[in-house]
Chain A
Amino acid sequence: MGEHLRFVIVGHVDHGKSTLIGRLFYDTDSLPEEKLEEIRKTCEELGRDIEFGFVMDHLEEERTQGITIDTAQTFFKTAKRHYVIIDAPGHKEFIKNMVTGASQAEAALLIVDANEGVQEQTKRHAYILGMLGLDQVIVVLNKMDQVEYSQKRFEEVKKDILTFLTSLGITPTFVIPICAKDGDNVAKRSTNMPWYKGLTVLEGLDTFKILEPDLMKPLRFPIQDVYKIKDKRILVGRVEAGRVHQGDSIVFLPQGTKSTVKSVEILWSDRTEAGAGECIGITLADPLFIERGSVGCPADDKPVVTSSIKANVFWMSKRPYVAGDDIHLRLATQEMPVNITVEKKINSSTLEDISEKPDEVRETEVAQMMIQMKQPIVVDDFNRIQELGRFVLVRDLDVVAGGIITHTQH
């Protein structure tokens, strides 16, 4: 069966994301013949050379206009393991699709055109990677053929991007000069750049770790729903951190009610314990009234219960946030109305302070917000338990922003 690593390819428009993906497929022999044939045929109809980008760009509008509109996912494998590639669009106007893709990855390839250098979306995408907490990052400098495979140019652009990434707290594991179109340093070492002694893209990816749920952390079990099955009242949900065993003492927050785990419920299984990442059910020794949104945890290592948090919020809706908007916050299975105070705003590409109009937050802007709840919320430090340290904001039932908690209370 083997391991699967999920990685996203991000970067500015036309820096070669889709071409790199096509090349990865082609060089790992992962393209079904029929798909290659279909691409060949479509390219012929459009009157152009075979375009590897079409492996991911499947919408008619994407192919005729030569752009990526939405994120897509597909699969390839190396000798070491399987990969899920998440493609993300480079246009600013499709940023929510980029965030959707990147939020599902455990590693990232940031692609930069060696000729054009660092551009607006290069920076914005890097910012989003940092915000999402992705720390397995490879930078590839593409189109080295257009700069005559120059080591000097490589070092210049490398310096630019490293300076920017350092300011975001991101340290890329590798910086690799490539030509995706011809395959230089993608799967095969380039003969055009003998000065480069590092790994190829595939070798670099193979060094990354698959993120495993952490069983050593304290239990976090947000209740998703409650089922009445025969005479049992089963609290169902996903164990977000730690482990739960039959017989464990358990506290439900924010209420603070205590009980003992009477049984772990998994259909067709007699297991009496479960760990992070598993969707299970439990029954309790006491007939407590527990609902969706409560979080089960151990008495001696509880999350924070608070009615206000500070957070960095990335706005993704075309319609700006305006002071007074009716906003709900969703964190794990909790959902509640909130009041927002914008304390500061930055441009997510240039990182400039743009706080002069704090009553409005526009698409792609990042706001430092003070968020107040009318009822208590259960949260953790993002750096300790990510699942309870991040949230989305919802307006009119649309997800409009993603946020990372920076202060669990003030």
Chain B
Amino acid sequence: MDYLDELESKSIYIIREAYVQFRKIAVLWSIGKDSTTLLWLVRKAFYDQIPFPVMHIDTSFKFKEIYEYRDSKAKEWGLKLLIARNEAALADGMGPKKSKLDCCTELKTNALKMAIDKHKFKALLLGIRRDEHGIRAKERVFSPRNQDFEWDYKNQPPELWDQYKSRQSDEDHIRVHPMLHWTELDIWEYVRREKIPIVPLYFAKNGMRLRSIGCETCCNPVESQADTTDKIVEELKTTHTAERAGRAQDKESAYIMQKLRSLGYM
């Protein structure tokens, strides 16, 4: 086994463990590189017959490439696609012109909350990684959220030898993070090896590319000439810029990511 095989195997173990523990689960697919890699691993874990839905939290402010890619791959891969939107907040005019904290909370966190209520999911698979953000570095593989969706980050369950927290009655759901141990570079090396199709926004055009993708309104491209997977791998080996440097919602104040996450943000 080489290093990528190890990362893959560890993720597949967690994915299968989430399904056997909870059965009623879904995988979140933002269409970015991480969750698309997660989806690839989920396909591998279940022999390309994913026994649960693939959920896209749609803020309606995503890039058009995201929607095109989503619909074409969902069809090609035979996914049970669920699209979750907070229609009430959108009708009220919620959008990125309001505060970032409110917009992310309404259109992402609350949209997710409503979808979980509706479908009664006991656990969700998410493609977050420890190296993305200092707060995410603190996460557990199985991370409980209470009914109000809050993350009790000061009192997380112990986790050892791949034995994870099960659900308790007063907890709304468990966030399962099968890719915590991957880095941004690992993702791209795996994408290259597996030839995973990735949405074109990551590849440089006119000297700019996106390194981390969210809503069109809150993502800034970085300068880059990397227009192929090979070039992205090379770029990441030498870069000194943080991956989420272009993500506006992380920047409003020092602990906004912690606040967003304690309220249930991904």
Q: Do A97 and B258 touch across chains, with their CB atoms under 8 A apart?
A: no
Say whether chain B's binding surface is mostly helix, strand, loop, or mixed: loop
- Say yes or no: is B117 at the interface (Cβ < 8 Å to chain A): no
Q: Do A74 and B160 touch across chains, with their CB atoms under 8 A apart?
A: no
Bound CA span A388–B137, Å:
29
- Say yes or no: is B63 at the interface (Cβ < 8 Å to chain A): no
- Say yes or no: is A124 at the interface (Cβ < 8 Å to chain B): no
Bound CA span A297–B95, Å:
57
B-chain residues with CB within 8 Å of residue A394 when the two chains form the complex: 163, 166
- Given contacts A1-B189, A278-B9, is CB(A103)–CB(B161) below 8 Å? yes
- Say yes or no: is B200 at the interface (Cβ < 8 Å to chain A): no
Interface residues of A in 58-88 (CB under 8 A from B): 58-61, 69-75, 84
Q: Do A213 and B3 touch across chains, with their CB atoms under 8 A apart?
A: no
- Say yes or no: is B48 at the interface (Cβ < 8 Å to chain A): yes
Q: Do B13 and A224 touch across chains, with their CB atoms under 8 A apart?
A: yes
Bound CA span A321–B135, Å:
32
Report the contact-size class of chain B (Cβ under 8 Å from the partner): 35 or more
- Say yes or no: is B73 at the interface (Cβ < 8 Å to chain A): no
- Chain B 159-179, CB-CB to A under 8 Å as 1, else 0, gives 111011111100000000000
Q: Do A278 and B1 touch across chains, with their CB atoms under 8 A apart?
A: yes
Q: Do B242 and A70 touch across chains, with their CB atoms under 8 A apart?
A: no
- Given contacts A99-B160, A265-B47, is CB(A279)–CB(B138) below 8 Å? no
Q: Do A277 and B258 touch across chains, with their CB atoms under 8 A apart?
A: no
- Given contacts A61-B154, A227-B47, is CB(A75)–CB(B183) below 8 Å? yes
Closest to A98 in B: B158
Q: Do B47 and A267 touch across chains, with their CB atoms under 8 A apart?
A: yes
- Say yes or no: is B44 at the interface (Cβ < 8 Å to chain A): yes
Interface residues of B in 125-168 (CB under 8 A from A): 130-131, 133-135, 137-138, 140, 153-154, 156-161, 163-168
Question: Min CB distance, A366 to chain B, in Å?
Answer: 15
Bound CA span A100–B165, Å:
12
Q: Do A74 and B12 touch across chains, with their CB atoms under 8 A apart?
A: no
Q: Do B160 and A402 touch across chains, with their CB atoms under 8 A apart?
A: yes
Q: Do A73 and B137 touch across chains, with their CB atoms under 8 A apart?
A: yes
- Given contacts A278-B1, A281-B47, A396-B168, is CB(A224)–CB(B138) below 8 Å? no
B-chain residues with CB within 8 Å of residue A316 when the two chains form the complex: 158
Question: Min CB distance, B251 to chain A, in Å?
Answer: 9
Closest to B4 in A: A1
A-chain residues with CB within 8 Å of residue B16 when the two chains form the complex: 224-225, 236, 279
A-chain residues with CB within 8 Å of residue B44 when the two chains form the complex: 267-268
- Say yes or no: is B24 at the interface (Cβ < 8 Å to chain A): no
| Stretch of A31-39, A142-150, A338-346, A371-379 that contacts chain B | A31-39
- Say yes or no: is A390 at the interface (Cβ < 8 Å to chain B): yes
- Say yes or no: is A270 at the interface (Cβ < 8 Å to chain B): no
A contacts, CB < 8 Å to B:
1-4, 32-35, 38, 41-42, 45, 55-56, 58-61, 69-75, 84, 96-97, 99-100, 103-104, 213, 224-225, 227, 229-230, 234, 236, 238, 265, 267-268, 275, 277-279, 281, 292, 316, 330, 387, 390-392, 394, 396-399, 402
Across the A-B interface, give the 5 residue pairs with the lowest CB-CB distance, nearest first. Answer: A58-B134, A103-B160, A96-B158, A72-B137, A279-B12
